[in-house]
Amino acid sequence: MAIERKKMHLLAGVLVSCLALWFSFRHADPVLLFHLLWKGHYGWVLPILALMNLSFLFRALFWRTTLSVTKRVSPAHLYGSILVGYMANNILPFRGGEMVRLIYTHRLEKISSAILFSTIFLERFFDIVLLSLILFLFFLLHGENGIGEKAFILGSATSIVFFALLLTVRYRAGLIRFLRERTGPDPETIGGRIAGTGEKLLHGLSILASFRKLSVLFGLSFTVWALTLSGCYFYLRIFDLDMHPVMMSLSLLLFTNLALVVPSSPGGIGVVQFATLYAMRLFGVRDEEALALSVVYQIVPFLFTTTLGWYFIHRQHMSLFDRKVPDADEVRETWTGHKEIAYQPRSDKK
């Protein structure tokens, strides 16, 4: 049943991509499109690759900070894990690369899957916060009507989730005690395993209890998105589309990232083209120019992450499609924390 469900998800993603491609290219002139691609100034790809690499390094530092509540992890290992996840996202719909990233890191670092899940969730939550700020900035600079109402809705929704997380972390000891009382002390029972997993999930979020670490996380996340926004400007330079550099870069970054929420496969093909077309039409850019931009905007990170992702996954003698069933001891360690030394909270006291 699980295999059939995965096939259905993949088929749905492919259908979404095909429809989006048809809507994007149905009125485009293929001759002009190929001419624009041929005449592009591809020297700008070099700073794009440099900025992309830096953004992944800062993502690795962000992840290392959130994992510091459990153990010290090499940023180089986390850099490889992130690229493996992006490589898998190039192939799998529904952000399936996040699960591949989790499995890869669990096998490499022997950290609890629940803790890895909660720290990956934190990274994505900070991405949403920064993307919301970019959306607000775009509305503000674009002179949208009702900016106050939109800002209020965005800020309220993000703030509610953020403060809910802070409260959860603040009172995690009481929540853990409540779970233990309701499920019983035996970790081998189903209730005990659920309580153990809940404890690990809360422990993975505990970095939010430190105001200093919280500030560091905001700084790292801001740097990641600033680097990504700078890369968007150089993509525009490839096709001389920098008439309004700030606004066009914001528009490209914003709408393509929002489009990736739509489950498509492989790698957001189709939805990225559709989103780029919409983002550039706001500035009077011809469809063929916008589509040429979308092709390069998608191919460059696809090749970068896929090449390095395969390198890291094969260096560890792993497989993206490994279907090996873990043995009972591994399952027990993952869900109960027994024998999993990395799950124990770190202590910097000597």
What pLDDT, on the 0 to 100 scale, is given for residue 187?
67
Q: Lowest mean pLDDT: which of 106-110, 252-256, 275-279?
A: 106-110
Is residue 1 one of the residues assigned to a domain?
A: no
Q: Residue 256: inside a domain, yes or no?
A: yes
Look up the pTM and report it: 0.85
C-alpha 128/C-alpha 289 separation (Å) is 29
Owning domain of residue 321? 10-339
Confidence band for 127, pLDDT divided at 50, 70 and 90: very high
Task: Please write the tens of the pLDDT for every residue from 5-28.
Answer: 666 766 777 888 889 899 999 889
Is 17 part of any domain?
yes
Give the Å distances, CA to CA, from 329 to 34, 325, 326, 338, 341.
Answer: 56, 12, 8, 9, 14
3-state secondary structure of 243: coil
Tell me how many domains the chain contains. 1
Tokens 């890291």 identify what position? Answer: 312
Query: In this model, does residue 83 exceed pLDDT 90?
Result: yes
Q: Is residue 89 part of a domain?
A: yes
Q: Which of 14-28, 302-316, 319-333 has the lowest mean pLDDT?
A: 319-333
Q: How confident is the model at residue 348 (pLDDT cuts 50, 70, 90)?
A: very low
Exposed, middle or buried by CB within 10 Å (0-12, 13-18, 19+), for 316? Answer: middle
Residue 311 belongs to a domain? yes
Residue at 346 is within a domain: no
Residue 344 lies in a domain: no
Asked, for residue 2, whether it belongs to a domain, the answer is no
